[in-house]
Amino acid sequence: MNLTLRYMTLQDVPQVVYIDRLAFDLPWSEHSYAYEVSESTYSYMVVLEAETPALAARGWRRWLPLNGRSTGRRIVGYGGLWHIMSEAHISTIAVHPDYRGRGWGEILLAAMVQRAVVLAAGFVALEVRVSNTKAQNLYHKYDFETVGTKSHYYRNNNEDAYDMRLPLTAANQQRTGERFRALQARHIFADLYTAHEPPRAQPGRMA
Ligand SMILES: CC(C)(COP(=O)(O)OP(=O)(O)OC[C@H]1O[C@@H](n2cnc3c(N)ncnc32)[C@H](O)[C@@H]1OP(=O)(O)O)[C@@H](O)C(=O)NCCC(=O)NCCS
């Protein structure tokens, strides 16, 4: 599997929004993603891209819009990281439903934690629905701990959120780095994200 981890661009937004609508009851708007990618100065949005004949053969029409491209290269998952002061906040993470259970969500989470380490954040934080045990398992696997509950956090059904955090102690930084390198050895993906600056910081590269 040919995988690439890289920054989200404006051209990616339609594919990301498509997956977002499959993944969440309260999806973000196209405008929100466009803002994160092109205007926000504290946002580090990531995508995982796969190139495989299988993806194209298994129904490219679901991977809308294609924007005129004819290759099998598609976004299979994405994540959002905000860096504000000492906090690195994971704002979103999702994998296309057809491609879950392959370790790709783990790659995205590990990459954002590793990016937070490179940014010298003090801790990583996120919210997760109390009913979302799959995602909680993923976060627990990466040593996130539940530090509180935010009541009626989700406006569609008033569901509570767990406030989960991972302090980036020296030990956790080392562990994160080792895990990320182990994932890279297992899945063999190109990493254009964790040690790179976002395109907005490099005039001329933004879409
Ligand atoms: C959460 C999500 C990103 C995980 O992506 P994924 O690619 O399927 O996950 P991975 O294959 O990398 O699995 C990593 C870990 O997640 C947990 N996990 C994933 N799928 C699971 C399942 N069906 N049941 C229980 N735990 C599961 C496990 O801890 C797993 O580690 P393991 O394989 O060693 O058991 C994906 O399910 C998703 O997009 N969900 C919808 C969006 C969402 O809920 N995002 C989180 C918002 S807070």
How many Å lie between the centroid of ligand 1 and the Cα of residue 136?
A: 8
Report the pLDDT value the prediction gives residue 207, as an integer from 0 to 100: 40
Q: Which are the contacts of 83, defined by CB distance < 8 A and separation ≥ 6?
A: 42, 44, 89, 116, 119, 121
Predicted structure pTM score? 0.92
With a 6 Å cutoff on the Cβ, whether 204 touches ligand 1 is no
As given in the structure block, the two tokens for residue 182 are 């182990």
How many Å lie between the centroid of ligand 1 and the Cα of residue 100?
A: 7
With a 6 Å cutoff on the Cβ, whether 27 touches ligand 1 is no
With a 6 Å cutoff on the Cβ, whether 112 touches ligand 1 is no
Report the pLDDT value the prediction gives residue 57, as an integer from 0 to 100: 47
- Atom 4 (ligand 1) nearest CA: 105
How many Å lie between the centroid of ligand 1 and the Cα of residue 66?
A: 26
As given in the structure block, the two tokens for residue 28 are 């973000």
The dihedral of CA 101, 135, 142, 179: what is its sign? Answer: positive
What one-letter code names the amino acid at 44?
A: Y
How do residues 91-109 score in pLDDT, each as one tens digit? 999 999 999 999 999 999 9
How many Å lie between the centroid of ligand 1 and the Cα of residue 95?
A: 8
Ligand 1 atom at minimal distance to the Cα of residue 24: 42
Phi/psi at 191 (5° precision): -115, 100
How do residues 112-131 score in pLDDT, each as one tens digit? 999 999 999 999 999 999 99
- Atom 24 (ligand 1) nearest CA: 134
With a 6 Å cutoff on the Cβ, whether 80 touches ligand 1 is no
C-alpha distances in Å from residue 189, one per residue of 43, 57, 110, 124 = 22, 22, 13, 23
CATH architecture of the domain with residue range 2-201:
3-Layer(aba) Sandwich (3.40)
> What is the chain's length?
207
Regions of the chain with pLDDT less than 50: 56-57, 65-70, 203-207
Report the pLDDT value the prediction gives residue 67, as an integer from 0 to 100: 40
